[in-house]
Amino acid sequence: MIKLIKVTKNYGDVKALDEVDFEVRRGEVLGFLGPNGAGKSTAMKIITGFMAPSSGDVEVDGDLISDNSFDIRKKIGYLPETNPLYEDMRVCEYLSFIAKTRRIPKQREKSAIEKMVSSCALEEVFGKFIGELSKGYRQRVGLAQAMIHDPEILILDEPTSGLDPNQIVEIRDLIKKIGKEKTIILSTHILPEVSATCSRVVIINQGKIVAQGTSEELSAKLGSSEIVYVKFKGDSKEIKKGLESLGDLKNIKEYSGAEPYAAAFSASAENRDGREMIFEAAVKNKWIILELYKRRDNLEDVFRRLTLNE
């Protein structure tokens, strides 16, 4: 559906994007991740036709944006990080203005607005001035303007930025609902949101794509291992010495900040389940286990390793 072909963008001597290649499949919700200044917003502006690349091109549905920018823009709805709202307009006036800007026929304008009001739950604020709305409702209005022309593609740049936890859940649920019908590129710093919403992720760092795939695929590619976490009640020095004597238990790390009477550790294991070894050692040494569990690297671990060179 969308393909970036060696897209490069220079701002003077600064290279914001360096031959970026990735593809978004039809009907996919793609998480586009990267630290501040990595090039995410620049890439999104180029995909939407808002900005031209220094070199390379973007293909949408078989058409190159360099050849057919106007028709491609009709297929795209864009919510930038800075929401494009006019605070002195009422919500109803603003959506009518956007409908006209998007050249929605007059006979369809009312139904298009009604559909957005229903989809984005704007009934309570439809007659209010945008300047009076909470950040959550402003984001809903921003989503409405991005979707009012019923685009095939949605580009959402930090759609939950600045929202409280309840508002984040509301917008996340709305994106999930929209994602059943449209192709979405979602940029966000809230990594659990990506895990909950996106089917695949692309990670960019310093203008280059450093990884892409599902969370599970990225973990596998990086050779992540299962880590065992354990918290004991007892003397930390004695327990650490006992853990180090277990030959198949590796990378033992002690964590500070446990309760005054407790000692917390993480470790990786070879050949056997680390939990089994730790439990046997606890029984033998009469250590009291307060917590014991294992997990693989999650998306946050993968992101840090790829963008901080950990």
Same-domain pairing of 137 and 209:
yes
Last residue of a domain, one of 221, 239, 254: 221
Same-domain pairing of 203 and 252:
no
Same-domain pairing of 180 and 259:
no
Q: Mean of the pLDDT values across residues 271-282?
A: 87
pLDDT digits (tens, 9 = 90+) for 37-84: 899 999 999 999 999 999 999 999 889 998 988 899 999 999 998 888
Same-domain pairing of 213 and 89:
yes
Same-domain pairing of 18 and 163:
yes
Q: Has residue 257 got a pLDDT over 70?
A: no
Last residue of a domain, one of 221, 252, 273: 221
pLDDT tier at 267, thresholds 50, 70, 90? confident
Establish if 185 belongs to a structural domain.
yes
Place of tokens 């800007």: 101
Is 68 or 302 the better-scoring residue by pLDDT?
Answer: 68
Structure-token pair, residue 135: 């950040």
pLDDT digits (tens, 9 = 90+) for 125-138: 999 999 999 988 99
pLDDT tier at 1, thresholds 50, 70, 90? confident
Across 8-12, 24-28, 236-240, 255-259, least confident range: 255-259
Q: Is residue 39 within 8 Å of residue 9, measured between CB atoms?
A: yes
Same-domain pairing of 156 and 63:
yes
Question: What is the rounded average pLDDT for all residues in the chain?
Answer: 88
Q: Has residue 243 got a pLDDT over 60?
A: yes
pLDDT digits (tens, 9 = 90+) for 189-228: 778 778 778 889 999 999 999 989 887 787 766 655 678 8
Please report the pLDDT score of residue 258 as a whole number: 62
Establish if 264 belongs to a structural domain.
yes
Same-domain pairing of 155 and 287:
no
Is 26 or 271 the better-scoring residue by pLDDT?
Answer: 26
Q: Based on the structure, what is the number of domains in the chain?
A: 2
Establish if 304 belongs to a structural domain.
no
Q: Has residue 171 got a pLDDT over 70?
A: yes
Please report the pLDDT score of residue 5 as a whole number: 95
Establish if 310 belongs to a structural domain.
no
Please report the pLDDT score of residue 262 as a whole number: 83
Q: Mean of the pLDDT values across residues 246-266?
A: 80
Same-domain pairing of 169 and 90:
yes
Whole-prediction pTM: 0.77
Establish if 302 belongs to a structural domain.
no
pLDDT digits (tens, 9 = 90+) for 105-125: 999 999 999 999 998 889 999
pLDDT digits (tens, 9 = 90+) for 2-14: 999 999 999 999 9
Question: Which CATH number covers residue 261?
Answer: 3.30.70.260
Please report the pLDDT score of residue 226 as a whole number: 74
Which structural domain, as residue segments, surrounds residue 19? Answer: 2-221
Same-domain pairing of 143 and 41:
yes
